Amino acid sequence: MYNKMSLNFLSLSENEAFARNVIAMFSLSINPTLNEISDVKTAVSEAVTNAIVHGYPDTVGSIDVEAEIQDDILHIIIRDYGVGINNVEEVLEPFYTTKPEEERSGMGFTIMKNFMDKVTVESKINKGTIVKMTKTFKK
């Protein structure tokens, strides 16, 4: 089975629930367990929140979410065109945050890595950030 979707929306926090629920609905054809659905929703929410809060700190910009199903594997790409990340290795560290004054936990990527099988981050300053995540659903 092969399927593909894409979604574009503005970097407003109101769109977080929309994005994670669309991906959850899209992945239903793989017959996921409730726990797997919950994991995907949380990981998507983390990446979209990062794009909104850190990608576009002072502006409203565009966020693309793409998802692809290949048999029992779900691929998700979340892309923003915002400020980018200076040091990707650093942001992948647990508890690393650039905004402690806003009570940010710095756990976003740690959670993505825990809830998905594979997470990669590509970023260029002032060009944006691409987060790619993959999860294989158990049979």
Partner 1 sequence: MKIKYQRLGGDTYIYLNGELDECSASKTREIIDDIISKPLVKNKVIFNFSSVTFMDSTGIGMLIGRYKKLKSKGVPIYIQNPSSEADKILEISGLYKIMPKI
| C-beta closer to partner 1: residue 14 or 58 | 14
Q: Tell whether residue 110 is a contact of partner 1 (CB under 8 A).
A: yes
Window of 41-49, 59-67, 78-86, 125-133 that interacts with partner 1 by CB under 8 A? 41-49
Among 7, 9, 22, 53, binds partner 1 (CB under 8 A): 53
Binding of residue 58 to partner 1 (CB under 8 A): no
137 close to 71: Cβ distance less than 8 angstroms = no
Of 19 and 74, nearer to partner 1 (C-beta) is 19
Among residues 43, 87, 36, 92, which one has the least CA distance to residue 65?
43
Active-site residues: which are they?
46, 50, 104
- Contact at 8 Å (CB) between 109 and 98? no
In angstroms, rounded to a whole number, what is the distance separating the alpha carbons of residues 16 and 9? Answer: 10
**In this structure, are residues 43 and 115 in contact, taking their beta carbons and an 8 Å threshold?**
yes
d(CA 21, CA 124): 28
Nearer Cβ to partner 1 (24/70): 24
Torsion 23-25-27-33 (CA) sign: positive
Q: Which of 23, 32, 40, 41 binds partner 1 (CB under 8 A)?
A: 41
Contacting positions for partner 1 (CB under 8 A): 13-14, 16-17, 20, 34-35, 38-39, 41-42, 45-46, 49, 52-53, 102-108, 110-111, 114-115
